[in-house]
Each structure stands twice: as structure tokens, then as C-alpha cells.
Chain A
């Protein structure tokens, strides 16, 4: 059972907008930055969003992050087949004194 809760799966058709939620608590999301990672099949994770809503250089602006209270969301607009991957949210947890990850959401592009 992960400390951060994500839906196990999400799906959409090309061109659609999909959102992935990440629910936590005051000790993690509520008091610390949220990060999102994309893991394409058979590859290492890649930083997608940092500090709640910032995109590293090279990440398309189709990807956006937001946070409200103890929940965060990743939105992907203009869905493409190459977006099919596992997505993880992460945050520092003050109570556990460690980084906590969500269980991951497998995105399928239909």
C-alpha cells in the first residue's frame, strides 16, 4: 500500500486530455513539493514535472502539473501514442523522513 494514492490505470484516445490524480496527506503533498515521473516500457524513470507544476527543459507543454491541498494532478493534453507509459507521483514525507511514491498509473492510449 503506497503512501500516495494513484489510480492504477488511465486511458484515452489520441488527441484527448487525460488527468492522473495523486492523493496524499499534510505530511507529504500538503507541505512539500510534488514531482511526477514518466517510465516508458523497459526504461528508467524520467522527471516530468518538478515543484508541483514546473517542466524541465525538453518536456512538452502538453504535460502540466497542479496541486491543491493534499492532492495533486498530472494532465496530459493532445494525447499521443508515445505517451503510453507508467506515471508516478512523489513527494517528501515529513513524518516518515523519506521520499514517498505513488503506486503508479499505467496510461494506455487506445
Chain B
């Protein structure tokens, strides 16, 4: 059974950097795309982008491009979402999920989520 396990909750200050992770199953990690989805407090789901761990090809939502970086490490079956300078508006729950292509809304399964709080 494919599982995605995300890193724990983070509390950061504005301007700080952060890298959160999403660890998949070794045998299937390079068979799927990994997508990242943001959910701000009390709000809906928002697609951020996807990466294909096999060759690290990425696609970003225009709303986050330039503000976040999506990466992956095949050797550890781990995908990452990182910020170089956090803003208070980055406070949200972040989910990773397997996807079947770079242009699909199919996400299954999902990680348990990583809560990021950015506050001075």
C-alpha cells in the first residue's frame, strides 16, 4: 500500500526559510508525480504544483511560482516544499499527494499534512 508521510508541524517567523518533506514508498516513488496542495485556515484546497521524482520535472501554479521551490530526492524517496523567505500569509496546512500526471487533478493517496505557522 502506497503511503506518504509528511514532516511535523513548524512555527517560523516572517523572513525565515523552511523546507518540509513528504516521504513515499521506495518501490513506487518514481512511478508517480507528487503534488502539493495548500489549505489556509478555514479555507479550501489550492493546488501549488507537482514534481516527477524520476527526473525532477516540475510544474508550478502561477500563484506560487517564484515563492516556493518543489524538489525531490530519489535516493530517499522524499519530496520537498521549501521557502527562502516566509510570509505570514504562508500560514496553512500543506498536503502532498501522489498524482498520475503533470496535468491531472487525480491525487491519491494524500499525506497527513504539515501545519506551517508563520508569526512574529
Contact = CB atoms under 8 A, between A and B. Distances in A.
A102 B106 contact: no
A96 interface: yes
Interface residues of A, number: 27
Interface stretch (B67-75, B84-92, B110-118): B110-118
B45 A104 contact: yes
Nearest to A56: B108
B45 A88 contact: yes
Q: Is the interface of A mostly helix, strand, loop or mixed?
A: strand
A104 B108 CA distance: 18
A2 interface: yes
A90 B45 contact: yes
Contacts of A39: 45
Interface string A67-110: 00000000000000000000010111000111111111000000
B92 to A, nearest CB: 13
Interface in A42-68: 44-47, 50-51, 56
Interface in B84-107: 95, 97, 103-107
Contacts of A101: 44-47, 105
A56 to B, nearest CB: 7
A92 B104 contact: yes
A100 B47 contact: yes
Closest 6 CB pairs of A and B: A99-B47, A90-B105, A47-B108, A44-B110, A104-B44, A101-B45
